Amino acid sequence: MNKHTSGVKHSIIKALSGFVVLFALYHLPEFIQKYGNAPLIPVLEGGMLLFVIVAFFVGRLQYRNGFTMYGLFGFATQGANLAIGLLIGILLSLLANLVPVWLHWSTMHVEVQWAAMIMPVLMFAAGTLLPSLAEDMLTRGYLRAWWPQRWKTGWIVPVSAVVYVLNHILRLNRPDVMLYLLILGLLLMYCYTLTGTLWLTLGIHWGSNIAYQFVANMVTVTTLKDTGLENYILAACYALGQALVFLFRKRFKKVELQHINI
C-alpha cells in the first residue's frame, strides 16, 4: 500500500469515526426518551448541548479549529445572514400553515393576546436553537469539512439533503415527510455553499422550528377538510424559499467557503 492510498484510507476512517460519534450523540436523547420514559425537554436540551460541546472538541481534534470546521465563523460580518435566515424560516413555516386556511381546509385561532406571546416565543427560540444548530453541524457542517476537494462542490447539496433525510431515522415511513425534509435539506445546504458559512442556514432552520413550535403550542387549528396535503404544501413553501434565495443570491453576505484538505 503506497503512502497516498494509506493517507486516503486514514482520512476516510477519521471522517467516518467522527460522524458516527456525532450521529450517536445527536440521537441519544431520542432513545433515552423512547426507552427510558425520561422528560422530553431536559433530555433533548441536555443532549444537544452535549453534542455541541463534543462537536467543538472533534473540530479541535481533527482540524484544530473548533467550530470553524462546521462553518461557524465570521459572525461579525455574517450576523446579518442569521437575522435574514430567521425571517425567511419563520415566514416560510407560517405560510405553509396559512395556505390551508386560505383554501378553507382549516381554521386557525390564536388563544392568547399578542402581549402574552413574547415569553412563549422567546422560550421556543431558546428551546429550538441547540437542536437546529446540532443538526446543521452534523448534516451540513461536518459533511462539508470532509468533502474531498477533487469532487465537484455542487454535488454536496443533494448529498447533504439525503443525509439530512436519513438523519430522521424515526420518521422515514411517510413519503410526504421525506419530501419536505429533502427539499428543506436542499435549501439549507445551498445556503451554506452560497454564503460560505452556516449562519444563513442556521437562521432558516431555526426560524422554521420557532414558527412550528408557535403554531403547535399557541394556535388552535380546526380541520374543515382532511386532504392529507399539508406536508406537500410545506415542501412547496420550502421550494419557494429555495427559488427566492437563488433569485436574490447576490444580496447575501459571502465569504470564501473554507475547505480543509483531507
The DSSP annotation for 144-172 comes to: HHTS-TTS-GGGHHHHHHHHHHHT-TTST
Q: 3-state class of 85 per DSSP? A: helix
Judge whether 237 and 96 are in contact, CB under 8 Å. Answer: yes
The alpha carbon of 11 is separated from its chain's Cα centroid by a whole number of angstroms, namely 26
Domain-located, residue 3: no
Give the confidence band of 262 by pLDDT, cuts at 50, 70, 90.
Answer: very low
Domain-located, residue 56: no
Judge whether 83 and 207 are in contact, CB under 8 Å. Answer: no
Judge whether 181 and 60 are in contact, CB under 8 Å. Answer: no
Question: Is residue 162 packed enough to be buried (19+ CB in 10 Å), middle (13-18) or exposed (0-12)?
Answer: middle
pLDDT for the residue numbered 103: 95
Domain-located, residue 40: no
Judge whether 183 and 242 are in contact, CB under 8 Å. Answer: yes
pLDDT for the residue numbered 258: 59
Q: 3-state class of 21 per DSSP? A: helix
Q: CA 237 to CA 249: how far, in whole Å? A: 18
Per the model's pLDDT, the better-predicted residue between 216 and 4 turns out to be: 216
pLDDT for the residue numbered 158: 97
Per the model's pLDDT, the better-predicted residue between 105 and 154 turns out to be: 105
Counting the structural domains of the chain, the total is 1
What digits encode the pLDDT tens for the residues 58-67?
999 988 789 9
Domain with 236 in it? 74-251
Domain-located, residue 54: no
Domain-located, residue 143: yes
Domain-located, residue 256: no
Residue 8 pLDDT > 70, yes or no? no
- pTM for this structure? 0.93
Residue 9 pLDDT > 60, yes or no? yes
Per the model's pLDDT, the better-predicted residue between 256 and 163 turns out to be: 163
pLDDT for the residue numbered 189: 97
How many Cβ atoms from other residues are within 10 Å of residue 234's Cβ? 25
Per the model's pLDDT, the better-predicted residue between 176 and 40 turns out to be: 176
Tell me the average pLDDT of the chain: 90
DSSP element (H, E) containing 42: helix 40-63
Domain-located, residue 200: yes
Lowest mean pLDDT among 3-12, 153-162, 182-191, 239-248: 3-12
Domain-located, residue 196: yes
